[in-house]
Amino acid sequence: MPLSPDPSTGSADTTYNRVMLKISGEALMGDQGFGLHPPTVERIAREVKSVHDLGVEICMVIGGGNIFRGLSGSAQGMERTTADYMGMLATVMNALAMQGALESMGVFTRVISAIPMDQVCEPYIRRRAVRHLEKKRVCIFAAGTGNPYFTTDTAATLRANEMSCEAIFKGTKVDGVYDKDPVKFADATRYDTVSYDDVLAKRLGVMDASAIALARDNNLPIIVFSLDEPGGFRGILAGQGTYTKVQS
């Protein structure tokens, strides 16, 4: 059911009550080639706050590729499990940066890690996380699933199902899913909607196969949109903007 307008903000109805926002670690780099770009982190936090102000309950998962990517480390000769754990720690750093940006804007936020590290964030306990969401706190799930060999795409889909999210919003550099890379091919065609099976069969690269299959099996829609478009996240929740919806 759509939300009623929030009397404190006068905002319009939205399509979803609880959503998962999945972004890559690279989204936090800005124009840099590595690490965190504070103005970019702040810009994304403002986008999240604008949706939070609608009364929508928000979960987040942020990748760690701007700091360390386990698969890349493995490709360079590092033992895969160790490399993946290092990548998980990178996601915690990104989550703490986003938490700091959101809380500076007055948005109460909890970082919840699949790997216990009690001095910097909370351990993952499902019922506690649900309660945070009910209290309108943004929950950022860090450290992936806590297991090697699983991507943050799979972690986002897993947590979205556990939290009973109504959709996953995948923020990317393009405004949806295309039949081929729109950066390389001027004649690339964007899908308005596409099925989970077509994403897998055509290798459209929305998320990894495990994440797509998990979303399909639980009928959880994935909305792919441009994170670089100002107001895009909020606009789509209000039924506007350009995006691709992955569904059955």
Which long-range CB contacts under 8 A does 232-236 form with residues at least 24 apart? 232/47, 232/175, 233/21, 233/47, 233/48, 233/50, 233/51, 233/169, 233/171, 234/47, 234/50, 234/51, 234/54, 236/169
Whole-number pLDDT of residue 13: 59
pLDDT tens string 113-142: 999 999 999 999 999 999 999 999 999 999
Q: Is residue 172 part of a domain?
A: yes
Q: Is residue 2 part of a domain?
A: no
Q: Is residue 217 part of a domain?
A: yes
Beta strands 193-195 and 109-113: pairing type? unpaired
Q: What is the pTM of this model?
A: 0.90
pLDDT average, residue stretch 10-28: 82
Q: Is residue 9 part of a domain?
A: no
pLDDT average, residue stretch 186-200: 94
Q: Is residue 37 part of a domain?
A: yes
CB 201 within 8 A of CB 212: no
CATH label of the domain that carries residue 87: 3.40.1160.10
| Number of domains comprising the chain | 1
Whole-number pLDDT of residue 21: 98
pLDDT average, residue stretch 92-110: 97
Q: Which domain holds residue 70?
A: 18-247
Q: Is residue 1 part of a domain?
A: no
Whole-number pLDDT of residue 231: 87
Q: Is residue 7 part of a domain?
A: no
Q: Is residue 214 part of a domain?
A: yes
